[in-house]
Amino acid sequence: MAFPLSAYIDMLEVLRSQGYALGPVKRYWTGYARPFLFLRHDVDRLTHRAVAMARAEKDAGFLSTFYFRCRQGCVFPDQAIRAISDLGHEVGYHYEVMTRCHGDIQKARSLFSRELASLRELAEVVTVAAHGSPLSSVSNLFFSDGMDRAALGLFGEPQVDFDFSDVFYVTDTGGLFGSPHNRRDWSNGKNLRNPTPPVALPAILHPGKEPVVLLTTHPERWPEANAAVWAHSVVDWGVNALKTWRAKK
Ligand SMILES: [Zn+2]
């Protein structure tokens, strides 16, 4: 399922009016005051939608974090990254080195360092996030847990370092907040587990009840045009059907 970008911005404005301050993931380490909502974006595909989301957020007075993947050969989408960094947003590294290296941890660590260095040629990078790779048998999740992140100049990774007994986790993985089609993208603590459209999320995220929240969204799911909303919903239906079929095998 996909929703229009305007629904995302409207949702953030309601959350702000409820008392939340909203900001990028790195604020977890550099300081924040409760109630606070961390805005994380995993840029899996369609980088132009990430740029559109970054502009819409900036226009509405929000800053967030965009995690970028690269193609083989450490090639990152440089134009989108520079545009988003120039707007004042945080840029992070969305890695998938374990799936790329077929589970070979030594190769994966070496590739992680090379890709991180390439991304840092385009923007400052102090946080990372694993790509879920839902259709792969190898998982990237918690890969950075065994690394000396400080030696790499990193504050950390939200899924590994956030205290989810305190932080409430919400993601649009699977097509909807709290989707039953989300296979791997869960925190080890508090999670939204009821399917919830954007218009209904502010009623659940009340500062008195959940004073710290990590909200993950995929910009490709929040296009500007209505035709794209329908097209993406059809793609989601296909991916979810494939996940269900594989789970039954
Ligand atoms: Zn991803």
- Tokens representing 200? 């209904």
pLDDT at position 115 is: 98
Q: Tell whether pTM > 0.85.
A: yes
Q: Ligand 1 centroid vs 135 CA: distance in angstroms?
A: 12
Q: Label residue 134 by pLDDT band (50, 70, 90).
A: confident
Q: Ligand 1 centroid vs 17 CA: distance in angstroms?
A: 30
Give residue limits of the domains in the chain: 5-248
pLDDT at position 242 is: 67
From the list 216, 219, 214, 217, the residue with the least C-alpha distance to 37 is 214
Nearest 5 degrees, angle CA 13-CA 16-CA 18? 115
Q: Ligand 1 centroid vs 217 CA: distance in angstroms?
A: 10
Fold held by 5-248: TIM Barrel (3.20.20)
Residue-wise pLDDT for 117-127, tens only, equals 999 999 999 99
Q: Ligand 1 centroid vs 66 CA: distance in angstroms?
A: 11
Q: Tell me, what DSSP letter sits at residue 178?
A: T
Residue-wise pLDDT for 27-85, tens only, equals 999 999 999 999 999 999 999 999 999 999 999 999 999 999 999 899 999 999 999 99
Residue-wise pLDDT for 194-235, tens only, equals 999 999 999 999 999 999 999 999 999 999 977 667 676 766
Q: Ligand 1 centroid vs 109 CA: distance in angstroms?
A: 18
Q: Ligand 1 centroid vs 124 CA: distance in angstroms?
A: 20
Which residues have CB under 8 Å from 147's CB, separation 6+?
109, 112
Using DSSP's 3-state secondary structure scheme, residue 57 falls into helix
Q: Ligand 1 centroid vs 208 CA: distance in angstroms?
A: 31
Q: Ligand 1 centroid vs 86 CA: distance in angstroms?
A: 22
Q: Ligand 1 centroid vs 94 CA: distance in angstroms?
A: 7
Q: Ligand 1 centroid vs 129 CA: distance in angstroms?
A: 8
Q: Ligand 1 centroid vs 130 CA: distance in angstroms?
A: 7
Q: Ligand 1 centroid vs 143 CA: distance in angstroms?
A: 14
Using DSSP's 3-state secondary structure scheme, residue 90 falls into strand
